[in-house]
Structure 1
Amino acid sequence: MPAELDRIDRAILNALQEDGRLPNNDLAERVGLSPSSCLRRVRLLEQRGVITRYVALIDPAEVGMGMTFFARVWLTGQDEDTVNSFVDAVKSLPQVVECHLMAGDCDFLLRVVGADIDAYRRFQAEHLGRIKGVQSIKTEIPMQKVKQTTAIPV
């Protein structure tokens, strides 16, 4: 069941999604609370699991991983062992930054990052295609990033 959020909780969440390093005093001022009340609210949001963690967002191009690939994966079967084996293998591949079990045509949709097409081809041949139970892989290469955000509308 979704958490009950009031106007101030939403303001806190929006501010922290914009800048997770915002000092508590600045956050409190922005949302109209005292620093101690603001900190108490943030801690409650963390304890309730609304805020799950804080991260630094990295520019992939600046670390040599500037290309994104979407891989649709079909497995040889949808039994629990095949699915779990695939999931466990994918979790160990740092190039896979998202993995979704799908309803529809394919079994999984992966978002993979890499330096270039050759690096992805090697990754697919040496890692992804060798996972037990993988029947086929179809890769989509985006031509332009139109929108990407980590912010959840609250």
Structure 2
Amino acid sequence: MIELDKADLAILSMLQENCRTPLDLIADQVRVSVITVQRRIKRLRDRGVILRDVSILEPKQLGWKMTFLVLVELEKERTDMLDRFQKRLINDPQVQQCYYITGEADFAVICLAKDMEDFELLTHRLFFDDPNVRRFRTNVVMRRSKVGMGVMIDEEMNIS
């Protein structure tokens, strides 16, 4: 783990809210120089604390009208089979998130589709055509109430 101080946490908090926040504004808020902010951001990226800088898009504006939460059970959980299945999900552009989980299902998958016909094609490609998929259960998302990948930052947390 990387050691983070209050300035690092403040920088992360601001970037997480808007990764396009100007460096001089961050420096002013954190009370350090712009060069210090640049160095810290580079260190946070190099150490894997900051994984990516992204724009959050509205799927409906791009024709992706439906969101699904799919719970997938596999027949066998051999490492090679898990890796192969997970890689297929990761490489599919309609899969937004993929979690290997405990409980009744092995994977929870969040995916997009233009309509039900498009989703049916997706289910064949990812689930029906895979002999290691025992079953999958689909939940249709009625409304996206909260979407994000933000991580709670508590400046009082003990980080080392």
Q: Which TM-score applies when normalising by structure 1?
A: 0.89
Aligned-residue offset at 1:140: 0.8
Match in the other structure for 1:95? 94
Q: Percent identity?
A: 30
Q: Residue 53 of structure 1 corresponds to which residue in structure 2? A: 52
> Deviation per CA, 1:66-122, whole angstroms, max 9, x where unpaired?
321011111111122321221222222111111111111011111111112332122
1:89–1:131: 8 Å Cα contact kept in structure 2? no
Deviations 1:112-133 (A, max 9, x none): 1111233212211244321231
Match for residue 114 of structure 1? 113
How has the CA–CA distance of structure 1 residues 81 and 48 changed in structure 2, closer, same or farther, with 3 Å as cutoff?
closer
Residue in 2 aligned with 1:44? 43
Q: Map residues 1-154 of structure 1 onto 2, 5 A cutoff.
A: 1=1, 3-154=2-153
Higher relative contact order (CA 8 A, sep 6+): 2
* Equivalent-residue separation in structure 1 for 2:62 and 2:120 (angstroms): 19
Letter of the structure 2 residue corresponding to residue 9 of structure 1? D
1:129 and 1:137 in contact (8 A); partners too: no
1:31, CA displacement in angstroms? 1.7
- Write the letter of the residue equivalent to 2:152: P
Q: Normalising to structure 2: TM-score of the pair?
A: 0.86
Unaligned runs of 5+ in 1: none
Give the Cα–Cα distance (whole angstroms) in 2 for the partners of residues 145 and 57 of structure 1: 13
Task: Kindly report structure 1 stretches of 4+ aligned residues shifted beyond 2 Å.
Answer: 125-128
User: 2:31 and 2:42 mapped to 1: Cα distance?
Assistant: 17
Partner of 2:158: none
Unmatched 5+ residue regions in structure 2?
154-160
